[in-house]
Homo-oligomer: A and B are copies of this chain.
Amino acid sequence: MVQRNTDVSAQVHDSHDSAACTVLEVLDRVSGKWTIGILLATAHGPVRFTELERTVQGISRRMLTLTLRNLERDGLLVRTVYPTVPPKVEYTATEVALELYASLASLTSWAERHRATIAAARDAYDRSME
């Protein structure tokens, strides 16, 4: 999109936009409104389409289809069609997707450590704006 890529270790003290590209790639891949929900729902084993529609609450059929297609396209999910009547389709998380899920741990940790602080900051900001 905007920036280039380099190594990870020296990010914090390196030039401004070096790590941005890689990070943005990940975020673009994951930041869909429903992506994480679907990945979580498929983390424990194959799941069927209608089952996902129930599990990922609030998702529309259209967005479920689109998000599943994108995840399949990136090799994070495998789509298996059983040529039965009625049709049966299962979605299974790949190893890559499971590793991603594990990598979200530190982010989750960050969020849990600071969610109260952030909420307070937000409230204070909103009140001071009024």
What total of chain A residues lie within 8 Å of the partner, measured CB to CB? 68
Instruction: Specify how many copies of this chain sit in the oligomer.
Output: 2
Return the chain B residue nearest A31 by Cβ: B31
Instruction: State whether A126 touches B40 (Cβ < 8 A).
Output: no
Tell me if A103 counts as interface (CB < 8 A to partner B). yes
* A–B complex contacts, Cβ < 8 Å, 30 sampled: A1-B28, A2-B31, A2-B32, A2-B33, A2-B37, A3-B57, A4-B33, A8-B108, A11-B33, A11-B34, A12-B43, A12-B98, A13-B44, A13-B57, A16-B37, A16-B55, A19-B40, A22-B112, A23-B107, A23-B108, A29-B118, A73-B122, A74-B121, A76-B118, A99-B114, A100-B114, A103-B106, A103-B110, A106-B107, A107-B107
